Structure 1
């Protein structure tokens, strides 16, 4: 019981401290007329607020969502709020490589350029379940799917340079572990480690992608949005942890506040030539050394290419 109590106190302390320093607001009013933006998971939460803000700035915004009904509802709200009619929906299910490839095919058919790719979509999925592609569901939704999507869109992003890739991650990456013998958690499954590992992979791939994009005019950065009051909290299985998190809701950011760093990275002239960095509250933050290991990042890229069918 003492160990459980200490764990709960640690969780509360981390959350409160994280929220206390989470006050970054994007203060740039730059317009994005003529720019094309893709936002994954844009039908609710941070993704919706991000898409709405960029539409208000005049961008052509593509809502990449799994649920078309919810996406259409979000689209109508964004158009009503922004007055921008250039808001589109394309179905994208990160749990399916076939869906990702179909989405990318449609993008290449309809879009002449892509200026900003925002990998926002994700899910706190901890169940030991495989997708149709044979990968752990939580790993594919949060990492392998976005990796494939980004890889397939790189030629268009390079053609559209200067362009930006923005990866929404989490401070929980610090608890992640990279085991190339168990990347898909088939040998040893630890459910609370799924999300953490996926986010560490996101950090490492941001590091490697930055190396690969040198000289192309394409930048890539990742971010922690803060502790945000979104429906992702409902997916946490542990009753006691979920109960504690719910009691602390008054400390959380709302979705608008949680979207600010993503918006900052999309529009700020200050980061036009900055790449391979980790941001919190609209500022560069310290990134743990294990997320900057170039050898691990390079090996993870090669391994990921094989697992998603690019090699």
Structure 2
């Protein structure tokens, strides 16, 4: 017999990407124990179903597992179709999946991996789920960025790092893109009851960058690990932005340590945000074909 859950998030459906470990799993766990129905997305079926079982066992109610490799646009589209079929409502979408790769990789779509996973995947997924979010309103889109957005710049002349690539530069650019995307989305959703916010989770002790670490991660991270936040503490801001009643109408903001703060000067460049949106729409095939010459 299914448990009837009560709690501040009871009756709400929350979707969390990258929820098989680290901040994503801790975010899903926190919201599940607040009564939310969870849909979690991971790349590996075994790990995703294992995380769903763990969340259920820890007091979460209904937890559905979905599997997709977000680096491939065909997988993002298949995932969106499955989600729309399974979930009659989506109250909160948490774009949490992301990563760091020291060397340049190219995806199945021929795009630079960091940009594809960290920015284009949430951009495409959010757009594909937007009608369902609007129908479920008041709803929220929460995108996990990072304070390195302050070091990022959008290099429109070399978005894919073909001319020169550095893992750090690509990562910083993708995290600035997360903030620009959130602000532009908030502007586009002004007339709706769907909010869009970005956040910095803090320096969190996770397996971030483990697939393809930089020298810094191999040499320095082991020494600073004891001073890093636990995933549960790192998830606190995501949980707050996803659930706090007082944030129901707050949109187009950047949060750190549970509070709104100013993001970098570049992140408020509306022309760059609009251009990034257009370029991203072209790259993921969301651009409406024009009939004018």
Structure with greater proportional helix content: 1
Partner of 2:3: none
Find the residue that maps to 1:157 and give its secondary structure.
Answer: helix
Q: TM-score, normalising length from structure 2?
A: 0.93
Partner of 1:92: 68
Partner of 2:185: 209
Distance 1:148 1:192 in 2: 23
Q: Quick one: structure 1 residues 198 and 295, their matched pair in 2 at CA, closer, same or farther if it must change by over 3 Å?
A: same
Distance 1:63 1:83 in 2: 12
Distance 1:283 1:276 in 2: 13
Q: Quick one: structure 1 residues 136 and 82, their matched pair in 2 at CA, closer, same or farther if it must change by over 3 Å?
A: same
Distance 2:176 2:211 in 1: 20
- The 8 Å contact of residues 126 and 195 in structure 1, kept in 2 or not, is answered as no
Partner of 2:238: 262
206-215 or 181-190, which moves further after superposition?
181-190
- The 8 Å contact of residues 100 and 167 in structure 2, kept in 1 or not, is answered as no
- The 8 Å contact of residues 165 and 221 in structure 1, kept in 2 or not, is answered as yes
Distance 2:216 2:144 in 1: 27
Distance 2:209 2:236 in 1: 20
Would you say 1:56 and 2:69 are equivalent positions? no
Choose the corresponding residue for 2:153, options 177, 191, 216. 177
Q: TM-score, normalising length from structure 1?
A: 0.87
Within-5 A mapping of 1:187-226: 187-226=163-202
Partner of 1:80: 57
Partner of 2:275: 299
Find the residue that maps to 2:158 and give its secondary structure.
Answer: coil
| Structure 1: gaps spanning 5 or more residues | 1-28
Distance 1:123 1:282 in 2: 22
Distance 1:268 1:30 in 2: 12
> For the aligned residues, what is the CA RMSD?
1.4
| Structure 2: gaps spanning 5 or more residues | 1-5, 288-293
Higher relative contact order (CA 8 A, sep 6+): 1
For each residue in 1:96-154, what CA deviation from the matched residue of structure 2 results, as whole angstroms up to 9, or x when unmatched?
11111011111121222110000001111232121011110111111111111111111
What's the offset of the Cα at 1:248? Answer: 1.3
Find the residue that maps to 1:113 and give its secondary structure.
Answer: coil
- The 8 Å contact of residues 141 and 195 in structure 2, kept in 1 or not, is answered as yes
